[in-house]
Structure 1
């Protein structure tokens, strides 16, 4: 069904210009602190990891340092595993699940892998609990060379040297009720298109890269997360968010064509997680646990069961 859902900015059927983007940005209030909730926890990891800035977001008068956490003893003979969170700043468990993994689980892989983790790709969006950046761009549709999105360009540059050598990349996301109430209507308004209502999956699922799906890898992650929280069932038409379900809890996207984070590298094993924090069957702690469990399962599979053995 297509509808002309009301959105308070712009003229229906007309894409936004700079005036509408400025009006939208003026409505975005700061709701939480990146420095207090994220940056401080990242800096505390310096006792065990190399923590460095890989870029800064410049949204004057605000500026945000972007942090990467790396294995202290980087060894080119070991497989490189990538973890990214907070590409969409409002997807809270992506950020805090990555931090939880670094604080509680990452030490077990010392000397076995090269770990590179970016817990919060989009701090401006994190503070405003928003999907887009300050220019009304979705970072997770803009991972490409010469990206117009600062967040995407910075991460692209960071991962460029690892594009051909990364072994695994897991990108942590959420699907929330606000996708349907705010972000999809805003997208339709921004692009001057009709709003097409969708559905919100109740549970965890994965988005594999159709160019390199690795079904057994995806199912290993699903099996691990199923011990923590429930897996999203398919809709009656056999889809999740409109995409065919190819296996239990798994859909596929062409990540590189769509400019998605998981398509930045040529890693053999790559996936995007999605949890549902608004479910009555899940808590924020469960969502964080699910993300951390997904990371552990992804690394373990890539290291051993079907992946590269070290």
Structure 2
């Protein structure tokens, strides 16, 4: 996904996270929660902005030695043990796979920052990534004791690569508010079907439904979030994590959609009978939306090039800029 300029605080935190990392046998019993993607600069305001997110992907290059804001990133992770943080790593530069040795180095650098998982972006065969490289990447992440969240346009690319309980597949832009008609499922890709998602879910892999508005994050209203969540629950009914991002996922605005807006939308869509594998208690008021935990988000957890390309490709910053 994107990024700008460029789990484990205690055993108690791990125990709390286990419910989201390892989903119940009946996925439909899990309440959906907000997940986030933040590719902005970590500032003193970021601490408040991320509250309520069960899981949060941080933008690329934060893990790199010498990154100017790395101390702030590490402090953010350490100060929020109830949030499962994931570090961004792309498996391709857009057409060619990233060398395995470079991937391992990035995984290790993120691990040193204290994140619980790695977000593997640009991981599909449409980006020149082989199944063997996906298998390798997932295995290396697991060897480091972390979870893998994999983003590939075709969900069948995520099947049989080692994902299991505690991991996730990101179903990005199965609903696209900026397109006409807004809901374009299955986006003219015959293999992008619910069968692969249901297979992953049956194997304990969480599914995150993600969409991106084409405006700066601060301009996204609660009503727009509610519309997006309701639509995603219809087109990705097995999803247990939901994300709504703005332009560049905060890379240019240093802002996030409030998790409370997503929680309220999930509560409303659940009580209104929107299709989906899970919902909060029927009739729950928006103000009574359950507080998500890291454990709820990764009950084990990916694009069109527009949305999930690292932000440094957009702003000309970062090691690949």
| TM-score normalised by the chain length of structure 2 | 0.30
Select the structure that is richer in strand: 1
TM-score, with length taken from structure 1: 0.31
* Larger-gyration structure (1/2): 1
Relative contact order (alpha carbons < 8 A, sep ≥ 6): 1 or 2 greater? 2
